[in-house]
Amino acid sequence: MQPNNFYHSLLTGLALIFLMSACNKKDSNTPRNRGDNGVTGSVNDSVFFIAKDIYLWNDVLPDSATFKPNQYANPIVLFNALRTYKKDASGNNLDRYSFVDNGGTSRALQQGIAGDMGFEVGYQTDSTLFVVYAYPGSPADKAGIKRGWELIAVNEVTRFRNDDATNDMLNAAFGSASTSWSFRKPDNTTQQYNLSRVDYKLNPILYSHLYDFNGNKIGYFVFNNFVALSDVKAQIDSTFDAYTKAGVKQVIIDLRYNGGGLIETAEYLANILVPAAKTNTTMYSQYFNNNVNTNNYGPYFKYMKAVPYYPSVNWSDIFYSEATTYKTAKFQKSGALALNKVTFLGTRNTVSASELLYNVLKPVMTTKLVGSNTYGKPVGFINISFGKYDMYAVNFQTKNSANEGDYFSGLPADIKVTDNFSLDWGSLSDPLLRAALTDMGVDAGSLGRTAKLNGNRLAVTPANRLESTKFKGMIQTIRQ
């Protein structure tokens, strides 16, 4: 077959996506004949035996008689149990990534549609919440809501704590059809808005700017999701063409809240940023388990058709070609941007495809990571459908040209700086941006005075909505 641009495998993903209804998909956990492979069994059986074939860490999974797949109420419960078998060196669950859902994630990622109010909040202190970002074209953006505004009331609730009760309240508010939000702006005025959830096209470019400090021209690009390349290529090209024409030699890529997305878009950015001399050298390689590498599967998966995506192709063939023919991605320089340095801004909420972009460039050009350690997800999925369920079992790991790819605890920041949600994009008082600029040779005196952080109890790694609502996935283009 010719290459096809269906985005089906994930390595870490999109936030605030529209999870479409799966009411047209029917299933149960009762025995059935799969039809495409002649094997009779329940959905739980299918999930278990296929996981035994394609799960990256299948060597730790028990046999069927021990695990008893049909003791679990549904595939979601079953899979939550399966992923507990892989442990890290400390005995904790290593697999924080695999999941089963109702099919909505895959459909939403293909369309790049969000269905929400279009903004996110995070704790700056244990009792203060700020707008972290608002998506262009969303209800929040159209209302004028900006990063750096303090949230002071939600449906008349005015007291917040970084705890489960407040987060449950916020989850309910963001999930409601309509919610009342009150904010305090940087000029100390307050404003109330009633926002409703709507569908809108997800634009991941939150901010871009070209700085000129006495001839030292630096591009700054805030990118929040790796959506389909076709949805964002024109904007990316326009931004980086402007940098090229201006003679930019250093670029700051802000991925501090980017949960990942489509690998093809990460590759496209990498090819813009990479030196031309690195064309045709290794960008990254994928590593699967031995079953996939040798095309050796059990009867559940061996002849299973890739319905509804490739009805005439077996899933086993897709996996085998990913592990062999397409194992290694090569740099192919795009555009004329010639950089001396790329600095990435990252935090705990920098995940997967974001981490991949930084990791593949690290061995081949001068890079820095400013902020805090990233999330730690060097692995990915190719999702398999079972009626109304999609299984995202970790299938592969990626490593860069220096064979680096074991950053399960996150990629370490070169310059550690605490984020400040109370400042808008582009503020020269923003601690991460300021640290990146000074590291690029900009005189701190030309950046003005630094702003004081709001409060003295910073939530450096907040376990709140900002992290919990992020879908973490990196999406590979199936090349069949």
The amino acid sitting at 187 is D
Give the pLDDT score at 476: 62
Phi, psi for 206 (deg, rounded to 5): -85, -25
What are 257-268's pLDDT values in tens digits?
Answer: 998 888 899 999
* Calpha distance 354→474 (Å, rounded): 9
**What is the dihedral sign for C-alpha 258, 260, 265, 269?**
positive
The structure's pTM equals 0.89
Q: Is residue 352 part of a domain?
A: yes
The pLDDT score that the predictor gives to residue 110 is 58
**Residue 61: inside a domain, yes or no?**
no
Q: Per residue in 247-298, pLDDT tens?
A: 999 999 999 999 888 889 999 999 999 999 999 999 999 999 999 999 999 9
Range of the domain at 146: 115-201
pLDDT tens for residues 4-33?
Answer: 333 333 343 333 332 222 223 333 343 343
Measured distance CA(154)–CA(192) in Å, rounded: 9
* Residues in CB range of 385: below 8 A, 6 or more apart: 103, 106, 307, 308, 391
Average model confidence (pLDDT) for the chain? 86
Residues 244 and 272 in one domain: yes
pLDDT of residue 65: 97
- Total domains present in the chain: 2
Both 185 and 255 in one domain: the answer is no
When pLDDT is cut at 50, 70 and 90, the band that residue 44 belongs to is very high
DSSP bridge partners of 183: 151, 191
Model pLDDT for residues 131-183, shown as the tens digit of each residue: 999 999 999 999 999 999 999 999 999 999 988 899 889 999 999 999 999 99
Specify whether 339 is located in the same domain as 318: yes
CATH number at residue 139: 2.30.42.10
Q: Which of 157, 184, 201 is the last residue of a domain?
A: 201
Q: Identify the pLDDT of residue 466.
A: 55
Quick one: 184 and 225 in the same domain? Answer: no
Contact yes or no for 18/115 (Cβ under 8 A): yes
- Measure the CA–CA gap between 156 and 178, rounded to whole angstroms: 14
List for the chain the helix, strand, coil content (%; round to 5).
25, 30, 45
Please name the residues in contact with 90: beta carbons below 8 A apart, sequence gap of 6 or more: none
320 and 191 co-located in one domain: no
- Tens of pLDDT along 197-234? 999 988 999 999 999 999 999 999 999 989 889 999 99
Ranges assigned E (strand) in 62-174: 99-101, 113-116, 119-125, 128-134, 150-154
Statement: residue 424 has pLDDT above 60: yes
How confident is the model over 434-459, as a mean pLDDT? 76
Write out pLDDT tens, residues 349-402: 999 999 999 999 999 999 999 999 999 999 988 888 877 888 889 999 999 999
Give the tokens for residue 139: 């209800």
Q: Does some domain include residue 49?
A: no
Q: Does residue 273 sit in the same domain as residue 414?
A: yes
Are 188 and 147 members of one domain? yes
Query: Do 233 and 126 sit in the same domain of this protein?
Result: no
Q: What is the CATH number of the domain that holds 434?
A: 3.90.226.10
Same domain as 415, residue 364: yes
Residue 12 lies in a domain: no
Average pLDDT rounded to a whole number, residues 301-329: 90
Residues 317 and 421 in one domain: yes
Is residue 480 in some structural domain? no
Q: Could you tell me if 185 and 222 lie in one domain? A: no
Position with higher pLDDT, 458 vs 158:
158
Same domain, 268 and 159: no
